[in-house]
Amino acid sequence: MTPNMIDVLPAIDIRGGRCVRLVQGDYDRETVFDDDPIAPARRWIDEGAEMLHVIDLDGAREGRAANAEFVEQIAALGKPVQVGGGIRNLDTVQRYLEAGVTRIIVGTAAVTDRDFLREAVELSGDAITVSVDAKGGRVALNGWTEASELPAVALIPQLENLGVRRFIYTDIASDGMLGGHDEAEFSRVAGVARSPVIAAGGIAHPMQIRRLAANGAAGVVLGRALYDGRLKLSDAFEAAEAGIRERTC
């Protein structure tokens, strides 16, 4: 990513081998969008996506790579992929790197297993991206099923000291709600980071993307709004470019 670009990342969330979306990370509030998760990956690539955001929802809850075969098939399509969900050991990191995955997203283990995080950074360097998933500014764990008392703004500097150089900040309360990302909280989080921070959760309108880009977001993850047809990927690209122009003025 250059200073004049941000990542516009269509999300592919996989549960039980299908492409789904959850509401606020609630596994009981699921919408199935495709029985084959490879199909939306091809669609977003055909529409111009330069990178895909793939989450193994089963893996996030179970602590293992439960849908790795689908991740590998998506990586084989030839576009960069960032993958998260259940990545809590070096064998999984190595497997995904060998499959051609560009970025490895670590979530829960970044909080609970700092030794693993250090080793993962040593193994794969800038490929490691930490997902800071928070509600009310507090970090959530294990597929968002467990709350912690750790503030997101405290976590990021700690992890940068361990060598992490990229973050995703997910606003859980907004995720799947189509009401917009909590831009004020994102600004607080991005403000303490020395590294790029990608925004995720509730982003549904080009103007939201434009504001986030203008205010320093390194990327945006787009989910339900794309699948519902409320947001076109082409409009997201245009909004991101407009935001970057405002940032550099």
Q: Read out DSSP for 88-151?
A: -SHHHHHHHHHTT-SEEEE-HHHHH-HHHHHHHHHHHGGGEEEEEEEETTEEEETTTTEEEEEE
Confidence band of 26 (pLDDT split at 50, 70, 90)? confident
Which of 57-66, 167-176, 225-234 is the most confident on average? 225-234
- Max distance between CA atoms of the chain, in angstroms, equals 46
Integer Cα distance of 11 and 20 in angstroms: 10
| Res 194: pLDDT | 94
| Res 235: pLDDT | 97
Known active-site residue 91: no
Known active-site residue 113: no
As a whole number, the mean pLDDT across the chain is 89
Structure token pair of residue 98: 């060998």
Q: Are 204 and 220 in contact (CB under 8 A)?
A: no
Q: Of the residues 7, 56, 58, 133, which is catalytic?
A: 133
Output phi, psi for 247, to 5 deg: -65, -35
Chain centre to alpha carbon of residue 160? 18
- The CATH number that domain 7-248 falls under is 3.20.20.70
Q: Indicate the pTM of the whole model.
A: 0.91
| Sign of the four-CA dihedral 163, 90, 87, 78 | positive
Structure token pair of residue 228: 């519902």
Integer Cα distance of 151 and 59 in angstroms: 24
Q: Of the residues 13, 58, 171, 175, which is catalytic?
A: 13
| Res 4: pLDDT | 59
| Res 146: pLDDT | 65
Convert the pLDDT of each residue in 41-81 to its tens digit.
999 999 999 999 999 999 988 889 999 999 999 999 999 99
pLDDT exceeds 90 at position 89? yes
Least trusted range by pLDDT, from 7-16, 19-28, 56-65, 225-234: 19-28
| Res 2: pLDDT | 44
